Structure 1
Amino acid sequence: MPIEPVAVRPRTGARTEREPMEGDAMMEGTRDSVEAAGSGSEPPPVAGPVPPGKAGRAERAGRRKAFAGRFALLPLRLFLGVTFSYAGLDKLADSHFLAGAGDPQSFYAQTVAAKPHSPVGWALAPALHAPTFFGLLIAFGELAVGLGILFGLWGRIAALGGAVLSLTLFLTVSFNVSPYYLGNDLPYLMAWTALVLAGTPYLSVDGLLASRAARDRRHGLTEEAVRRRTVLDGSIAAVALGGAGLLVGSLTATFIRKKPKPVAAAPAAPQPASGAAAPSVAVAAVPVGGSATVTDPGSGDAIYIVQPKAGQYCGLSSICTHAGCTVNPPKNGQLSCPCHGSVFDAATGAVLTGPAVKPLPKYTVTKAGDRLDLGPLQS
């Protein structure tokens, strides 16, 4: 009699083939796209044993290159994150930054100095009408960008914010720097552009969120549910990080920032009816090594009347020849630019430290009794 075929059950643990089920192809494609994007916390494929000899050396070199490629932008990200976080806190701690029109080192004075030389000077009017608001906006914006890129939270958005800040500084502060490579805002803009394109997929909050989203997809969650959960958790993290940054910035501005020392305005010289008298200050207002500030009637720029040595007087323009920023008043025989670090001699206006290459314009000063009168431009 014929023998009926008997179905043999495979042993436990044995590998069996199965027919592909509906949805497998879609799930595989989704997983491949996520892994190709790089979540940052997804473990790399398990590497097999390295073969001996020349082939093994080539395999190890390939793995090292792949590892380096994944983290190639990490040093740039750390540098930009630390730098912009520090820049924001430094502005909030600076007693001069929000001091207003009376302080040549303030945000307002720097904006006034940059406006005539900027291709977008017309757009700076709102900042001059509300300097405190815009000064705080820039300081906290730099802090938010720095923290976002350091923690890798919404990395492309943070990088875009950094690019906008750098572009704004380039157009207002360093646009006229010649040659262009002496200005630092354009290199910052290019650095941020790289992170706008690449994002922060590794060692980041973005990477953790992407890794969990990939696991959720493998566990069968719908794309809508995965997206909703990712956006919600990312928003919670952003609120927490933003709150921490706001707290740190506020504490810095409250407890670290020192109040600016009041600058006594020099008594104005008596003006004739025609108003044609040259700007002047009292001799007593200009101590040895110190300065008093007058305004150039032609350009409207601030001029420092200095006394580098007893009985020796001259006037020096306050506008840095590098990028048009307002240099700080003389201190220890030098005038320093807060924007890019140029240093000038307080006696001659000569450049001591670049990137500036031209000296500060120098004015004659004439002593008339107990007054010092600003004379014509010498150089």
Structure 2
Amino acid sequence: MKPTAKRKHRATGLSWRTRLAEPGWLLLPLRMFLGVTFTFAGLQKLADPAYLDPASPTSVQHQLAALVHTSPIGALLSLFRPHTGTIGVLIALGEISVGTGTLLGLWARLAAVGGALLSLTFLLTVSWHTWPYYYGSDIVFAVMWLPFTAVGSAGVLSLDAWLGRMPDHDPGRRAWLRHGVTIGFVAVAALATAGLTAWIGRAVGGRAVPRWPMATAMSGDPAGDGETTVVRLDEIDQGSAKRFIIPQSGEPAWLIHLPAGGFAAFSAVCTHAGCAVDFNISDQEFSCPCHGAVYSAASGAVLGGPAPAPLTRLPVHLRGDFVRVG
């Protein structure tokens, strides 16, 4: 290698080593992760038909109703219950805005502040009762945003830096104008993508929207105040379960014919975020599809995951040939 080429190669190596020691380059992998994750989270919410469907146990409406009773800011959340659908849309759009701004390096510090506030909100609601605390992701996200509130994109792969380097005879007014036009273009593109994602999600059906089956009256049903007939004794095998709706509250519930004999019934509403739990016949456990809480089918006790309390147990009565709950 010629001396000139060697010096050029050495200078290039030093340049990259210098760059990789700068905050913007050091934080770039974390910045990309946060940007992609928040953008994906917002688009996923809008694409999911269940997210804004009040009939779904995984909807934002049902989750907020449960969080009112478990969150330390429950009193504040209760003020937004009449507008839960709007809040759900704003959360999704907020995640998309934060993620897009972070990825593009556009008003990156402001995007980081928004990401930190969203993560803090999720921590005080969805993840508040997660124990141990390090099982909850929201506390980690809240901390990860902090460096970017100080340095933003640090000029690395950044629209802010690119716009700032453009020559201008009137840097004040025209710089703001350029930023305004760029932000407007990005906002329109993000909204168009969000709208298209929501339309596609509903057009293809997204993931199946779980709906709670309504309990039906049974012939020969004996009278019983405040009780719900769930099944005939000969229609439910040992080790199996029957899901039904509690008429008084409209909530889903499970009746279990225990493998050792006898019956137990529990509310199907997860005590973590209000989703409806599923029954696993092989493990004799309830599992939450939203955040992974696991409960015993025999006692309703928490076996794993972020749930703060066991499932609510319901009284079971044998009335002739019928199993009744209530």
Contact 2:241–2:255 (8 Å) recurs in 1: no
For the Cα contact (< 8 Å) 1:306–1:313, is it kept in 2? yes
Listed one character per residue, the Cα deviations across residues 196-239 of structure 1 (whole Å, up to 9, x for unaligned) are 22212311322321222xx33xxxx1332442343333333333
**Structure 2 letter corresponding to 1:149:** T
Q: Per-residue CA shift, 1:310-364, capped at 9, x if unaligned?
A: 986422344546xx22243325435333443334455564666535597646555
Letter of the 1:177 counterpart: T
Q: How has the CA–CA distance of structure 1 residues 68 and 355 changed in structure 2, closer, same or farther, with 3 Å as cutoff?
A: farther
- Report the identity percentage: 33
| SS in structure 2 at match of 1:49 | helix
CA contact (8 A) 1:87 1:142 kept: yes
Larger radius of gyration: 1
List alignment gaps of at least 5 residues for structure 1: 1-47
Q: 1:326 aligns with which of 269, 274, 285?
A: 274
Of stretches 73-82 and 302-311 in structure 1, the one that deviates more from structure 2 is 302-311
CA RMSD of superposed structures (Å): 3.8
Q: In the alignment, which of 79, 82, 85 is matched to residue 33 of structure 2?
A: 79
3-state SS of paired residue (2:80): helix
Q: Are the aligned partners of 2:265 and 2:313 in contact in 1 as well (CA < 8 Å)?
A: yes
For residue 367 of structure 1, the aligned residue among 303, 311, 318 is: 318
- In structure 2, the partner of 1:315 is 265
Match of 2:73 among 113, 120, 131: 120
For residues 358 and 337 of structure 1, do their structure 2 counterparts lie closer, same or farther at Cα, with a shift above 3 Å needed?
Answer: same
Aligned to 1:227: 175
Change (3 A) 1:243 1:177: closer
Q: In structure 2, what is the Cα distance between the partners aligned to 1:113 and 1:365?
A: 24
Q: Provide closer, same or farther for how the CA distance between residues 96 and 224 of structure 1 changes in structure 2, counting only shifts above 3 A.
A: closer
Counterpart CA distance in 2 for 1:184 and 1:249 is 25
TM-score, normalised via structure 2 length = 0.76
Q: Single out whichever of 183-192 and 85-94 deviates more from structure 2.
A: 85-94
Question: CA contact under 8 A between 1:153 and 1:205: conserved in structure 2?
Answer: yes
Residue 215 of structure 2 aligns to which amino acid in structure 1? A
Deviates most, 356-365 or 74-83: 356-365
Residues 1:208 and 2:162 aligned together: yes
Structure 2 CA distance for partners of 1:124 and 1:187, relative to 1, 3 Å: same
Partner of 1:294: 246
Aligned pair in 2 of structure 1 residues 338, 195: CA closer, same or farther (>3 Å)?
farther
Distance apart, 1:188 and its partner CA: 0.9
The 1:370/1:293 distance shift into structure 2, 3 A limit, reads: farther
Q: 1:280/1:232 Cα in 2 relative to 1: closer, same or farther (>3 Å)?
A: same
Q: Which residue of 2 aligns with 1:239?
A: 187
CA contact (8 A) 2:292 2:305 kept: yes
SS at match of 1:291: strand
Q: Distance in 1 between matches of 2:121 and 2:308?
A: 24
- The residue that corresponds to 2:17 in the other structure is 64
Counterpart CA distance in 2 for 1:197 and 1:270 is 68
Q: Deviations over 1:143-191 (max 9, x none)?
A: 2222222222222222222222111111112223333222221111111
Q: How many residues align?
A: 308
Q: In 2 relative to 1, CA 329–356 (structure 1 residues): closer, same or farther, beyond 3 Å?
A: closer
Instruction: Give the secondary structure class of the aligned counterpart of 2:145.
Output: helix
Q: Which has the higher contact order (CA 8 A, sep 6+)?
A: 2
Deviation at 1:122, TM superposition (A): 0.9
Contact preservation (8 Å) 2:266, 2:311: yes
Structure 1 pair 63/74, CA: closer, same or farther in 2 (3 Å)? closer
Residue 104 of structure 1: CA displacement? 2.6
Please list every run of 5 or more consecutive structure 2 residues that lacks an aligned counterpart in the other structure: 1-5
Q: Secondary structure at the match of 1:283?
A: strand
